[in-house]
Amino acid sequence: MTEQSTELRIEGNAIELRFVRESDFDAYYAFLQDPELNRLTGSHQDFSREEIGNWIRKIGVANEDRIDLMIVLKETGELLGEVVLNERDTDNRSANIRIGIQGTQHRGCGYGTEAMIRMLRYGFDTLNLHRIHLGVYAFNPRAIHVYEKIGFQREGLQRDVLFMDGMFHDMIMMAILEDEFRLLHG
Ligand SMILES: CC(C)(COP(=O)(O)OP(=O)(O)OC[C@H]1O[C@@H](n2cnc3c(N)ncnc32)[C@H](O)[C@@H]1OP(=O)(O)O)[C@@H](O)C(=O)NCCC(=O)NCCS
């Protein structure tokens, strides 16, 4: 598995991770329209079809500072969501991670946990990262549970970072270090 490969494919048990393709356009468009996902990720933005087309072309390969992989159900090829390593800082060997699974029927099936662990392993093994961090809104107990289960530790709280549904919300900052990941996941 080479770092900048356009053929990158990470195979899991139930899912696989791969780059987005032009043929994913409709599924990726639907993913970005999921209201629950947009609420939980604090997204305020609507994207035009043209913007989404341009974005797919940008993230369809590994970029210098980010790698966006689609989470695909192995059995059917259905696009479930995405997991992204971004804000990569090679000097300090760190990056941010974020994830989204679309559709209530796909959440709570174990796909998010598996996708996170596979992407973290790729980050530590192949990208030589030492630290992977994330932010999660305090109103998202499921995501917080998943991250803590994987081994992320809470590092702090950003107060009132998001204004949504008429009120401000805090963001919990979490991170996992390479040795912590290896201790838990081998
Ligand atoms: C967060 C997310 C990635 C998790 O992936 P998933 O596939 O749904 O999660 P999994 O099925 O792997 O695991 C869910 C876990 O959360 C637990 N859970 C479910 N609802 C919960 C709740 N309200 N509070 C606490 N834990 C909860 C489940 O019991 C399960 O834990 P277990 O494995 O210990 O039994 C996914 O739900 C998602 O994309 N949600 C919408 C977008 C989002 O929140 N993104 C993260 C932004 S930071």
Q: Where are the domains of the chain?
A: 9-185
Q: What's the CA-to-centroid distance between 33 and ligand 1, angstroms?
A: 19
pLDDT tens digits along 23-76: 999 999 999 999 999 999 999 988 999 999 999 999 999 899 999 999 999 999
Among the listed residues 36, 181, 24, 18, the one whose alpha carbon sits nearest the alpha carbon of residue 105: 36
Atom 15 of ligand 1: nearest residue by CA position: 146
Superfamily for 9-185? Gcn5-related N-acetyltransferase (GNAT) (3.40.630.30)
> What helix, strand, coil percent values describe the chain, rounded to 5?
35, 35, 30
Pocket lining for ligand 1, CB < 6 angstroms: 37, 40-41, 81, 99-101, 107-113, 136, 140-143, 145-146, 149
- Give CA–CA dist 156/18, Å, rounded: 32
Residues of the chain with pLDDT under 50: 1-4
Q: What's the CA-to-centroid distance between 82 and ligand 1, angstroms?
A: 14
pLDDT of residue 45: 87
Mapped onto helix, strand or coil, the DSSP state of residue 101 is strand
Backbone torsions φ then ψ of 185, nearest 5 degrees? -120, 0
Is the pTM higher than 0.85? yes
Q: What's the CA-to-centroid distance between 98 and ligand 1, angstroms?
A: 13
Backbone torsions φ then ψ of 64, nearest 5 degrees? -55, -45
> Cα torsion at 90, 20, 53, 37 (round to 10°)?
-90
